[in-house]
Amino acid sequence: MKIGITCYPTYGGSGVVATELGIELANRGHEIHFITYSQPFRLAGRDANIRYHEVPVSNYPLFEYPPYDLALATCMAEVAELHGLDLLHVHYAIPHSISALLARQMLASRGRHLPFITTLHGTDITLVGLDRSYLPITKFGIDESDGLTAISSHLRERTRENLGITREIEVIRNFVNCDFYIRNPELVRQQRPRFAQANEKLLVHLSNFRPVKRVLDVIQVFARVARMLPARLLMIGDGPDRSAAEFLAVRLGVADRVDFVGKQENVNQLIALCDLMLMPSEMESFGLAALEAMACRVPAVATRVGGVPELIQDGVNGLLYAVGDVDGMAQGAISILSDPALLDRLSSAARATAQKEFCASRIIPLYESYYQRILQGSRAGTRS
Ligand code: GMT
């Protein structure tokens, strides 16, 4: 198949999923065209079967707000026509599904059908989509999509409840490449001393440091853990709450034990050095960061929100707490880190969950068969 993929190419879960999906599909012989405003960050250096088309956005003095969604629609239609795309797959509804809808209409006026699939990732429904200025058009874009998927059952239900969507929504959960996200003992032996000494436990947090991630809770939990056992914390990522988190680390007297390493490209190699992930989010429609950690044998102490319980089974492959329960999360982390047998049991179960349920090799075929269904339906004039 020839597939056009659009996403937010910068750091963020939906962009990661879209990019990894394109890479996996290209490895399986499909021709993938990324249509985005900059090159997706995990795409660098990979080119077999993958093309990247940058959306040119002109900025005339008249435009206080350059109309990116129109430039994107134009680029989608051009790429689809030039390269004979079979379909477009857009990640994150706003504004991508509306741009895809315009591209479909532009091509229809020339007698060519270009179906598009929208994948919902979370904040496009739970936060941004509920904003009155975006809600009606988000609902319209979703209703008009030829195919619609959500990354968890939770998000499917929220989409139905919040937006009143009644059409079929296919649940295809986040995935991870289990050959790439893996703990390599030799790499751990060589690299771990960069971040922790042999007697210290290494905790990790990975996010875009937005308020929904509650990075201040990460620091609060870590400070409690560090009082009880020798430990260090790796903070991977960047975003609006980073400086507040750095300041809190100073205030709680743990700044010398917390490493803010910023945005990183090979997060798989960093996560695999750690013992435990902290993910105290206010909301996660799925929790890709926890899945990436679990594949590396790093269980997560997380919050029982959104789609997280579809990934983490409390006490089996990680621990779940109420949002804001920093004492509970710290207690849980301490109990895991001070009991090698428990840590080993949770680590093995975490890896097994990633491998059995969320490996790319299992999830990508679900997308492929969904694409086929949409293509057949759109040829027959029906909609999924
Ligand atoms: O919260 C983020 O990390 C960004 C956001 C996005 O759309 O880029 O992530 C959402 O999509 C991820 C990939 O599908 C999910 O794993 C995250 O749970 C989801 N974030 C939220 O729902 C807050």
Question: What's the order of all strands across the beta sheet hosting 147-150?
Answer: 50-54, 31-36, 2-6, 87-91, 116-120, 147-150, 170-171
Q: Do both 349 and 374 map to the same domain?
A: no
Give the number of the atom of ligand 1 that is nearest the alpha carbon of residue 212. 23
Residue 61: predicted pLDDT: 80
pLDDT at residue 263 above 80? Answer: yes
Q: Which residues pair with 291 in a beta bridge?
A: none
Give the Å distance between the CA of 380 and the centre of ligand 1: 34
pLDDT at residue 127 above 90? Answer: no
Number of domains into which the chain is organized = 2
Q: Do both 142 and 203 map to the same domain?
A: no
Give domain status of residue 308, yes or no: yes
Host H or E run for residue 32: strand 31-36
218 residue type, one letter:
V
Closest residue by Cα to atom 20, ligand 1, is 284
In DSSP notation, 205-238 reads EES---GGG-HHHHHHHHHHHHHHS-EEEEEE--
Q: Do both 97 and 200 map to the same domain?
A: no
User: Which residues have a Cβ under 8 Å from the Cβ of 336 and sit 6 or more positions away?
Assistant: 276, 299, 301, 319, 342, 343, 346
Q: Do both 365 and 286 map to the same domain?
A: no
Q: Do both 256 and 364 map to the same domain?
A: no
Give domain status of residue 71, yes or no: yes
Give domain status of residue 311, yes or no: yes
Residue 283 Cβ < 6 Å to ligand 1:
yes
Instruction: Cis check for the bond before 185: say yes or no (omega within 30 of 0).
Output: no
Q: Do both 214 and 265 map to the same domain?
A: yes
Classify 94 as helix, strand or coil.
Answer: coil
Q: SS3 for 109-173, per residue? A: CCCCCCCEEEEECCHHHHCHHHCCCCHHHHHHHHHHCCEEEECCHHHHHHHHHHHCCCCCCEECC
Give domain status of residue 317, yes or no: yes
Q: Do both 321 and 272 map to the same domain?
A: yes
Give domain status of residue 338, yes or no: yes
Question: What's the order of all strands across the beta sheet hosting 231-236?
Answer: 258-262, 231-236, 201-206, 276-279, 300-303, 318-321
Residue 378 Cβ < 6 Å to ligand 1:
no
Residue 31: predicted pLDDT: 96
Q: Do both 112 and 56 map to the same domain?
A: yes
Q: Do both 63 and 169 map to the same domain?
A: yes
Q: Do both 81 and 227 map to the same domain?
A: no
Give the Å distance between the CA of 15 and the centre of ligand 1: 9
Residue 307: predicted pLDDT: 98
Q: Which residues pair with 276 in a beta bridge?
A: 203
pTM for this model (two decimals): 0.94
| Percent of the chain residues past pLDDT 90, beyond the cut | 86
Closest residue by Cα to atom 7, ligand 1, is 14
* C-alpha span between 33 and 323 (Å, rounded): 39
The mean per-residue pLDDT over the stretch 260-284 comes to 96
Give domain status of residue 180, yes or no: no
pLDDT tens column, 203-262: 999 999 999 999 999 999 999 999 999 999 999 999 999 999 999 999 999 999 999 999
Give the Å distance between the CA of 287 and the centre of ligand 1: 7
Residue 67: predicted pLDDT: 92
pLDDT tens column, 36-70: 999 887 777 667 899 999 999 887 888 888 899 99
Domain of 215? 185-357
pLDDT tens column, 325-355: 999 999 999 999 999 999 999 999 999 999 9
Specify whether the CB–CB gap between 290 and 279 falls below 8 A.
yes
- CATH code for the domain in which residue 88 is found: 3.40.50.2000
Q: Do both 194 and 272 map to the same domain?
A: yes
Give the Å distance between the CA of 114 and the centre of ligand 1: 27
Q: Do both 107 and 256 map to the same domain?
A: no
Residue 124: predicted pLDDT: 79
